[in-house]
Structure 1
Amino acid sequence: MKLRYSALYVAMTAIFAAGAVHAAAQDPAPQDAAAARKVKDLDSVQVTATKRETPLQKTPVAISAISADSLDKERVMTVQDITKLVPGFEATSQGDHGVVTLTMRGIGNDSAKTEYADPEVAMFIDGVYSPRPEAAAGLLLDIERVEVLRGPQGTLWGRNSTAGVVNFETGKPDTSGFYGNAQLDFGNYSHVGTRATVNLPISSTFALRFAMAQEQHDGYVDYQNPSQQLPSVAQQQANYLASGGTLATFQPINASNYVTGGDQYNAQDQSAARVSALWQPNDAFTWNLSYEYFRDRGTPGMSLMQQPRAGQDFWSALIDTAPYLKRDSNTVRSRMDFKISDAMTLSYVAGFNRFSGKSNFDQDNGVQVPTSFTTGASYQADRTNSSNYKNYSHELDLKSAGDNTVDWILGLYYAAEDNNIRFDIPILNGTAQGTVAWQGSFIQPKETVNTTAFFGQATWHITDGLRLTGGARWSKDEKKNEGGRGWGWAYDPTVPQVPISPDVDPGNVGFNVSTVNDAKYSKSKVTWLARLDTDVGQHGLLYASVSTGYKSGGTQDAGTLYAPETLTNYEVGSKFSFLDGHLTWNSAIYYEQFKNFQLAAPITYPDGNRGLGFSNVKGTTKVMGFESELAWQTESDRLNLVFSAIPKKELGTLKYAGSNDYQGLPACDPASGISACVDVSGNDLPHAPNASLTAIYEHDFRLSNGGRLTPRISAQYQSSQWLSTFNLGDGDKQKAYGRGDISLRYNEPQDRWWVGMYVQNVSDAKVRTSAGRFALPGGSFAYTSQYQPPRTYGVNVGVWF
């Protein structure tokens, strides 16, 4: 892969590196070196889970706080990389849209890849809601910490926090002085990564902070040679004639229709930049403002055959659709804090995002080898011709300050989205030369979301060690689809049977309207929280809570509506600190009950047309689990254990569940509205292993020159887990697995620079994150999956100045 740095990027990187080298030649800042070596008091970690800064160990919420140091050492580059650091947290990727689906405590679904997004795990950056994880906090650029709140957070955090909240706090400018850092990585698959941050004080009241990152590597998936797999021309002709064709219309398979070169699937080419400003003219007013740009020119992740054909490498595929991905995100975030008096503060948080994307994906995954140009296989390309999303939000928080008998917060919230998309699916028999099996074009010119909310929460300090908290939120969601149409192939024999071009009107090339999608959804809901927490001695906390979550319903293809889902969560938790704050142990037991749990999947209607269907699971979907985190730190040693157990994750009642990602499902009752389905009532939820454990350990070896050599090992174990609600057997499951990462880092005595090496996925484990099924001749099936990356390794170097 060629390096794609812009001239500006190269220039800025050179400036940062030059500044770092210059600073390294000067006397070190004693306070910085001391801070780097200081043994942290884990009992003093601060979080903002309750919309005010509180110690982690005194916050009665199931929350994981991940520091910038941990993110760096664990090489956390994307949202998916965070999951191993948080109990009960999983992430999967969707190849055709290149999006990320998050699952918390077994709750999450594929609606995240729709125009509305609507994930159950809400994502915030600096308190601003971001509906699309693939653009949020691009490359985790200059992140100060990540707070992951588990369980419904519908009172304070609001929309779509049914299962939990992930909040990224970015590095903020300050007026203390000029400083920064830069980092450079090299690894296999031609990996090159650079990161840099600079803090620039302009005056005693104004400061700027610049941050940027570029990460790229070649694709993991090689191209298979079609000539080694396609039948001979004579055999192709015989197969074609046997299918009813004639000699006059026969043509051999054009091998040039297969992709054998160029960018490969599972490649990365992402850039991000942010400029942040701080203005603090006096002690009563602070304004943080930032602009962030994220650019993705990588490729989608390919779904691979779980059992490759004989003679083919595992990380390879027979590709007939070249990968393409183009995404751009522009975001402005603003936070103003006003100190009204010693007893009251007002905050105004606002954000705006414009996100656009295009992609092309080989949806047939190269599983079926054609026997002629029209038989033995299917050609399917899932193509996002255009997608554009605009969203903005405003939040006003008025809250108490100082020591009070009752701490309180009141808030107003408004958010709006305006989205449009065109998505084409050409499906041809045999190869791209073949006859049309079906084609669809989904054109949604305007889909909007408007959300309004009022909320309040109060904590009564009954005694010095006993507190009672109550809160409620009223939310109203309104969604509209204006002019949306699904177009389906009309099978007009006079129309040329070729894949639809992205720049043509489907109505002019042999398509009919299959679904009219105009619809409006509007509904309001109240969610609430009740919690009691008490101190246990000086370094312990116990809490018990009942909370509710809500995710709105909406519109879907054919203009039908689906209902909102609601959740009630019962939770008991504890937090303890030992050894003067150098050992913490936090645990929680929870039981969750879902009503109208939403599932989304691509489906086929009885008339042969296709669309995205939403189903509400009837009855009660139940999840029960236990999670625990232990952190220990001394001057030279650091240990983290993250454990999750989800023994119960039972789906409610859903008799008709279908998905085009799973071929060969039984025919469905026509009354169901879909062509093929199975009864998934009572099945296990996917992405919810019975047990999961992550263990991380590192030790500092002090060298004679004063430097530090730090080996680090990170190991993860997960028991088996289903990859879909169908629970179809081994192909639809990830078996129990273990994987590990190791690294070694040397810090020079004054902490002015460091150099390291790493190996991730040391054992080269093949870990599935999703599954699909294709029909093969003879009634058998082949399963495909998206996978975590293979073994990667490299070296890196960083400087502070």
Structure 2
Amino acid sequence: MRQVSLLTLIVASAWATGAAARQEAATPAAPAADTAIAEIIVTAERRDSSVQKTAAAISALTAAQLERQGVTQPQDISKAVPALKIATGGGGYTQLAIRGIGTLSGNAYSEQAVASNLDGVYVPRPAEVNGVLFDLDRIEVLKGPQGTLYGRNATAGAINIITRKPSFTTGGDLTLEAGNYNQRRVQGALNLALSDAVAIRFSGQVNRHDGYLSDGYDDADESAARLQLRMAPNDAVDLTLSIDHAEVDAHGGGAVQSPFVDPGSPYTGASTAAGQAIFVAAGLKPVLNDGYLDLKTTGAGATLNWKTGLGALTVIPAYRKMDLDTRQYAPGFLLEDSETSRSRSLEARLASPTDAALSWIVGAFAFAEDQTTNIFTDQRVTYSRVIAPKLDTRSYALFGQATWRATDQLRLTAGVRASRDEKTLQGTRLSPLPAVPAAAYPAVCPSPATFSASAGTCTSPIAGDATFKKTTWKIAAEYDLTPSNLLYANLGTGFKAGGFYSSLAPNTFQPENLTATAIGSKNRFLDNRLQINTEAFYWRYKDKQVTHLGPVTPSGFDLITENAGKATLYGLEVDMIWKPTANDQISANLQYEHSRYGSFVYNQSTTTGAPTTSCKVSATTAASVVLVDCSGHRLALAPTWSGGVTYSRGFDLGSGRVEAEITERFESSYWVGDEQVLGQKQKAYNKTDLLVSYTPGDDRWTLSVYGQNLENKAVMSSSFVQPVLGAPYVTLRPPRTWGARLSARF
């Protein structure tokens, strides 16, 4: 019945769009330059195209939008895209999800279900995105599996971060910002045209603010710089070389117990006296305020675009490096992590002209990442451990996609990608055991480990080799009702790579898989003053990777990852922009989503009798192990309703122009953790942002004042259940912030 209702909704939406389009086509008129909605060019399909001509659900945030909304950190992106959830927890770990499909764990072995790309380069560790969000041209959020053109780890979609490129005109800009929580930000760029064919651009940012939590956590202390050299000797060749570096030296992310220890002050940190008392009473190491986050990232790469006789050739070699050193208590216990990542990638693509009867793109991709990780945890009554594994990843892919122009209005597309992942894990696990009850962890190390009674330690080797192969594909059709109205339908697949967890074999898990169907339309009406885009989607998700406290071979328990679930999601997304006058604009987006696990069953280890969960729990034949069944539950990070409305108004003055903008965002209730306990349920909420700016007639500078989250709502973004207390600890989105921003252009 629900599928029938969804089909009815899709057909009705398409019929209404078509009727309106035919009426518009009957009375064509030239758009007025001062009232027409601006076109946005994106590279979502690996070639330049208008958002309105791209048959996919894409949210494109321009440089002006990013500046107005104060986007400087990854979680800021999700404010403008209802389908996207980004949470930055302790240790710099970043969790990404689109329409409820994502990664809830944040360890070094986790792969993401949403691919992050910087200027066409795949960024393997989402923590690296923390230092690159400045001097941007735009951000593109692609919703739905991108298995053909993006490949691995783009199961739910992709985020494309595109920086401003050097131009052949000398100029620059400078932004100064100050606000509450001792907010201080400086961002600048200098563009030098060395000739008509050579330009260089240097940009940088320093961003700092005090902690949003009372004990100093959730602060920022970031600095970053980027240098780019562009050479375009003729119309056929365009080469850009770039290098970037960023450093974070902060207290780091923090978490609070939920339900809140002090409901009247939800941003009270867990290291306060009230928060510590809970841990001391349970015999656990309390949360302290001595956490830190030291993160250094460096990237270097090149982008060559060369128009050849065979087609447009694009070659992108890149190198990225990340060094992470952190101490955090966000999971509800002490966790120290020293991690390095070195990655190299190369992508080459050849694309035909887009106006050909048969347009195509073919390419190859190679990726290598070497990770080393040293992790120490202290949970007192369970066990402490040190893990020192080395994980090497190699990934290769061949891909191609072609579009046939069947008629002047109808186009048919098919694409395929063959991927191969190879992973090797080597390392050692050291478990100090002197104060550990026998029931909590085996007193004798499992073979082939060794046990030292005098030192009270258990040393276990960690090793494994795994290869994963996957073929993903896409088929699509698009039809132009008019030059301004597009209908499309597509069916595609995506996958998230499998991998290891840090325990004795068997310690592997398999890839996740997603098959998605979408029917949508993109439309301009009223002389390009009204834009309405819609997409109805139906996703089938299987082999969900879930990370939890589970039994390991031959005995004991650990934080493991296994394939434990499948789910179905469907819904409708609507985006609208209306510009009734040259001075007024209303933007709105709305998403409805229904999501349910068809099957979500896994074995959970417990030290307290039964795990903290709202799912069904039943006994097993193994001691301290229960069967958890979350089948029929809603996916985490998937509110039924979400959206926002923005109204902006311009006032022309004799000396300049005033712009006022107000944004209201809302979400219905949703879970922030797979355990789905009361403390992990975010209630329905709404938040308001306000911006007022003044720009003089010569457009040389702009002064803005802003307020965000004016209601000061404490909104949860991620969660981890403390394994001994059975209590969820949650990270929070920023509280009410306000400030002023001065931007100058020269």
> Which bin holds the TM-score, normalised by the shorter protein?
0.7 to 0.9
Give runs of aligned pairs for residues 271-670 of structure 1, distance below 5 A: 271-309=223-261, 313-317=265-269, 318=272, 319-341=287-309, 344-363=311-330, 365=332, 380-384=333-337, 386-401=338-353, 403-428=355-380, 437-444=382-389, 446-482=390-426, 484-491=427-434, 510=455, 512-513=457-458, 515-557=460-502, 558-559=504-505, 560-603=507-550, 611-618=558-565, 620-633=566-579, 634-657=581-604, 664=612
Q: 2:147 aligns with which of 148, 151, 154?
A: 154
CA 1:153–1:595: 2 relative to 1, 3 Å: same
Aligned to 1:103: 97
Quote the residue 1:135 is aligned against.
128
The letter of the residue matching 2:298 is N
Distance 1:456 1:56 in 2: 22
Measure the CA separation in 1 of the matches of 2:316 and 2:623. Answer: 44
CA contact (8 A) 2:606 2:624 kept: no
CA contact (8 A) 1:57 1:576 kept: yes
Deviations 1:209-238 (A, max 9, x none): 111011101112224xxxxxxxxxxxxxxx
| 1:669–1:782 Cα change, 3 Å | closer
Q: How much has 1:535 moved relative to structure 2?
A: 0.3
Partners of 2:109 and 2:500 within 8 A in 1: no
Q: CA deviation at 1:361?
A: 1.2
Shift of 1:50: 1.1
Residue in structure 1 matched with residue 45 of structure 2 by the alignment? 50
Q: Could you tell me how far 1:667 is from its partner in structure 2?
A: 8.5
1:743 is displaced (CA, Å) by: 1.4
Q: CA deviation at 1:115?
A: 2.3
Contact 1:43 1:55 in 2 (8 A): no
Give the SS at the match of 2:44. coil
**Which residue does the alignment assign to 2:660?**
711
Task: Say which structure is richer in strand.
Answer: 2
Q: Equivalents in 2 of 1:674, 1:455: separation in Å?
A: 47
What is aligned with 1:199?
Answer: 191
Which position in structure 2 is the counterpart of 1:218? 210
Q: Select the residue among 732, 738, 743 that pairs with 2:680.
A: 732
Q: Distance in 2 between matches of 1:781 and 1:396?
A: 49
Match of 2:201 in 1: 209
Distance 1:463 1:308, change over 3 A: closer
Please, which of 760, 776, 793 is the counterpart of residue 708 of structure 2? Answer: 760
TM-score (norm 2): 0.86
* Partners of 2:401 and 2:416 within 8 A in 1: yes
Question: Structure 2: how far apart are the matches of 1:128 and 1:185?
Answer: 30
Distance 1:287 1:74, change over 3 A: same
Where 1:463 maps in the other structure, the secondary structure is: coil
Relative to structure 1, is the Cα distance of residues 511 and 81 closer, same or farther in structure 2, using a 3 angstrom cutoff?
Answer: farther
**Aligned residue identity for 1:174:** S
Q: 1:696 to 1:510 in 2, by over 3 A?
A: farther
Give, as a single letter, the amino acid of the residue that structure 2 aligns with 1:424: F
Deviation at residue 669 of structure 1 after TM alignment: 5.3
- Is 1:723–2:717 an aligned residue pair? no
Give the direction of change, closer, same or farther, for the CA distance of 1:71–1:657 in structure 2 (3 Å limit). farther
Shift in Å, 1:591: 0.7
AA of the residue aligned to 2:665: Q
Cα shift at 1:310: 6.3
Cα distance in structure 2, aligned partners of 1:139 and 1:506: 46
Moved more, 114-123 or 544-553: 114-123
Between the aligned partners of 1:311 and 1:538, the Cα distance in structure 2 is 55
For residue 55 of structure 2, the aligned residue among 53, 56, 60 is 60
Q: Which residue identity does 1:476 align to in structure 2? A: R
Question: Cα gap change, 1:602/1:551 in structure 2, threshold over 3 Å: closer, same or farther?
Answer: same
Q: CA deviation at 1:659?
A: 8.7
1:690 paired residue number = 640
- Give distance in 2, aligned partners of 1:419 and 1:108: 22
**Corresponding residue for 2:689?**
741
TM-score using structure 1 length? 0.81
- 1:69 alignment partner, SS class: helix
Contact 1:85–1:642 (CA<8 Å) still a contact in 2? no
Q: Deviations over 1:282-333 (max 9, x none)?
A: 2221101110111111222211133454698432232425111100000012
Amino acid at match of 1:755: L
Change (3 A) 1:354 1:542: same
Q: CA deviation at 1:649?
A: 3.4
What are the Cα deviations for residues 523-559 of structure 1, in whole angstroms up to 9, with x where unaligned? 2111000001100122100011110112221222223
Q: 3-state DSSP class of the match of 2:128?
A: coil
Counterpart CA distance in 2 for 1:480 and 1:708 is 59
Offset of residue 40 of structure 1: 7.4
CA contact under 8 A between 2:103 and 2:110: conserved in structure 1? no
- CA–CA distance in 1 between the matches of 2:550 and 2:302? 41
C-alpha distance in structure 1 between counterparts of 2:408 and 2:622, whole Å: 58
Counterparts of 2:454 and 2:340, CA distance in 1: 25
Partners of 1:92 and 1:770 within 8 A in 2: yes
Q: Distance in 1 between matches of 2:516 and 2:723?
A: 41
SS class of match (2:643): strand
User: Are 2:601 and 2:627, in contact at CA under 8 Å, matched by a contact in 1?
Assistant: no
Gaps (5+ residues) in structure 2?
Answer: 1-31, 273-286, 437-449
Q: Distance in 2 between matches of 1:276 and 1:647?
A: 45
Shift in CA distance, 87/509, structure 1 to aligned 2, threshold 3 Å: farther
Alignment of 1:186 with 2:178, yes or no, is yes
- 3-state DSSP class of the match of 2:66? helix
Mapped contact 2:545–2:562 kept (Cα < 8 A):
yes
Instruction: Write the distance in 1 (CA, Å) between the matches of 2:179 and 2:247.
Output: 21
User: How far is 1:769 from its partner?
Assistant: 1.2
Change (3 A) 1:660 1:540: farther
Gap change, CA 1:538 and 1:667, over 3 Å in 2: closer
Distance change >3 Å, CA 725–CA 349, structure 1 → 2: same
Deviation at 1:347, TM superposition (A): 0.9
Q: Deviations over 1:51-96 (max 9, x none)?
A: 111111111111111100000001111121111222311112232x
Q: Does 1:680 align with 2:630?
A: yes
Listed one character per residue, the Cα deviations across residues 492-519 of structure 1 (whole Å, up to 9, x for unaligned) are: 79xxxxxxxxxxx997983544653200
Computed over aligned residues only, the root mean square deviation of the Cα atoms, in angstroms, reads: 2.7
Output aligned runs, 1:17-36, within 5 Å. Answer: none
Percent same amino acid among aligned pairs? 30
Indicate whether 1:792 and 2:737 are aligned: yes
| Largest Rg, 1 or 2 | 1
Paired residues of 2:604 and 2:611 also in contact (CA < 8 A): no
- In structure 1, C-alpha distance between the alignment counterparts of 2:196 and 2:711, rounded to whole Å: 52
C-alpha deviation, 1:676, in angstroms: 5.3
Structure 1 unaligned blocks of 5 or more:
1-36, 224-263, 366-379, 430-436, 494-504
Structure 2 equivalent of residue 701 of structure 1 = 651
The code of the aligned residue for 1:204 comes to D
Q: Is the 8 A contact 2:258 2:680 kept in 1?
A: no
| Distance across 2 between alignment mates of 1:548 and 1:359 | 36
Deviation at 1:582, TM superposition (A): 2.6
* Bigger Cα displacement from structure 2, 401-410 vs 606-615: 606-615
Separation in 2, partners of 1:309, 1:402 = 59
